[in-house]
Structure 1
Amino acid sequence: MDHNELEQRRKAATPRGVSVMYDFYASKAENATLWDEQGREFIDFTAGIAVLNTGHRHPQVVAAVQKQLAAFTHTAYQVVPYASYITLAERINALAPVQGAAKTTFFTTGAEAVENAVKIARAATGRPGIITFSGAFHGRTLLTMALTGKVLPYKKGFGPFPGSVFHARYPNAQQGISVEESLESIEYLFRSDISPQDVAAIVFEPIQGEGGFNIAPEAFVNGLRALCDRHGILLVADEVQSGFARTGKMFAMEYYPQAKADLITMAKSLGGGLPISGVTGRAEIMDAPEPGGLGGTYAGNPLAVAASLAVLDIIEQEQLCCRAQTLGAELVEVLQQSRIHCPAIADIRMRGSMVAVEFDDPATQKPDAKFTRLVQRKALDAGLMLLSCGIHGNVIRFLYPLTIPNAQFKQALEILAQALKS
């Protein structure tokens, strides 16, 4: 197929609002390798935006989906239920770091999970208000755009957004926002915009994804928990990007043992490449909506449920939480060594294999998105795919499959080291 012809067809058939990062088209993929339609080979450090912690087409995922495909593909769980949905819920209930007995319900996308977490919180508290944070990303629906703390490209031209949503400041040492200032910004909202008695939930990412892989300090999360307990507010952890072994634990909230969330949202790597999301929470809170208040035609699709059960098996059998710690440490070592010849490196952040490097202009100390794009281009020319993030577009996030072969990972790190030489 002619590449230029395909590009013309894409532009004629699909809207410009669906941006495309690369100018090539996928033809096949295996674990951490992707081939384009011209047969070129790339090491995939994007993982479909954190969807492929277990890699492209893991054999156990493929086998599970094929087995389910031979049985049935859809009934709508709310019409005719199936046992695999219940089994997956039971397994996640046992894994999720929530206080006491837990329950789980499934959906299709991360945005759906976040929206339903808001619905559940409002039903449980009888309150309308939601507080989120600057730099947050929670989805592209109208409600999740309102929750999101980044205007371009997500919110521009799409308002007005649903009301009763307020943004506090997320702590960020690189930007000079302390834990104390962040918690005080919530207290300021209570004084200026909404009474705490009208707030249903505080929704936050333990590690901001699109915001730049900013890691929530323990004091901040403990402060949120204390504030929520004081005012009867529910704490919602958005783990859509950070869940399922990426951080070296099944969920990033396991790093905060004194501050368990009331609700946790999940998606992305749960399905190993198939679309599925979920909300897990304290049983009494999850039971707040009336029967029929939760669900969706494709929610908890049986093919995706089968894939998810396989993903949980793979994480356990291949010890991917431990592997995430090992690979992340190796990557950070390369990044630290690169500081010698790359003065643009302003910060390196790591929690397991949720790793990011931030670039500033050495002369001005301002965020340097141009240099970030240069590193991406140099890496791509050598066969390594990288993703950027951050409010200023000056952060590269690393989302390699945790199943990547050691030799291929070493090759990728060599490419990265060369790309960082300025």
Structure 2
Amino acid sequence: MQSPLCSDLNRTFNHLSSTILQWDEKQLVYQVQLLPAAVLDYVYPPVSGELARLLIGRDMLQVPQYRNDTLYQIRQQDKRLLMGPYRLLEGFEGMFATYPIFLPAPDPLYDWGCGRQPYDCPPGVCWLPTEGKKLWGLATSVLSLDNMQADFRFRALTDQGYHYRLRQVADNVNEAATIAASDPPPHVPVSSTINKFNLVWVLEVAPAGGWEPKWRDPCIAAVVVGSVVVSALVAWLLMTREKHHTLLSAMLPKKVISQLQRGEVTVVEEFLEPVTILFTVETIGDAFMCVAGCPTREDPISAAVRMAGMAQDMIAMVDKFTTRVGTEDMRVKIRIGLHSGPVVAGVIGQRMPRYCLFGDTVNTASRMEANSQPMCIHISAATASLLRMAGAAVMLPSLVPPLTLFGRGRVMIKGCPAGEWELCTD
């Protein structure tokens, strides 16, 4: 203050205050006040009537509800403080920007011609003997919180689709308060801290529709439905693949299936070592063929013994089977032929692949069956030789009767050497 004497302020206060308000382009300052010795004596714009009676001459140190806050302001010594917000007598929300003024004084009772002394001021608060300074008073600006909020541009946040809240954090003199907030307030907001003088304000902002976009739930639903559909398709594909594999396993040997799965275009093998082929009639005009030692290579003797055992099992099984036609019991009889020798094996066809055997060994086995007797096993000399070589070294399962060979003599077979042997059970 250039002229702290109250006699000078009486002449210049209104002019100085008017100049200050003109500088405030945003009209944030509603009122300018001077409080010599913390007593409100100067107000601009001037007030009158009941409001003047309530304000002019109010001693802030003497009014209990203001005393503690006023002492706190004085103790800050030359620091600007923001106080509030308060509901003012004028009928609006406002804040006070205060500044305690300490000036050199010759003694603790010096009053600059104002005729005011701080009321019941504690030692060391209003008079600073070591510095030779005394509290002149308080300079205060009353700020319109409504005008401040207009300058905060909260409308822009609303127009952009955001909810907001500006709140004040409690400190030594100010209580926690909400300065401004949208309706409804933000949910799970982000925040930014604003520090100004002694105030700590927190601005919280969140999208009006929340952080989760509107398409999130439909997208999740679509993903769930898509996952279910894909899972169903995968399950169907696995089931179809398993059925295909089962059907393929029924048609082709496992070794051949593995070769096809590896991408081998041609699956043909030549088995120079003897393999044993069983040829039998299943129904009239039809027959089926079995092979041992192919496609997985096997010792010829073991293959012959295993195939002979299978032939015996087939005879034994059919021998137990009877069926009734009308009033008569009927029995089914089968013929079986065995031959051992080299073959060529491979998969024939692309649309309906079949695993086939080729060579004279196949033809000879067929001739063996054709010239066999019902419920007997007709074997060639090659198979008989392998079975003799087996002797006692290769044993059949305990439930299978021992092998016994019976010579038939020379049998004329079309296109093949004469067959001589039959394999029967004891």
Larger Rg: 2
Tell me which interval the TM-score lies in, with the shorter structure as reference length: under 0.3
Q: Decide which structure has greater strand share.
A: 2
TM-score, normalised by the number of residues in structure 2? 0.18
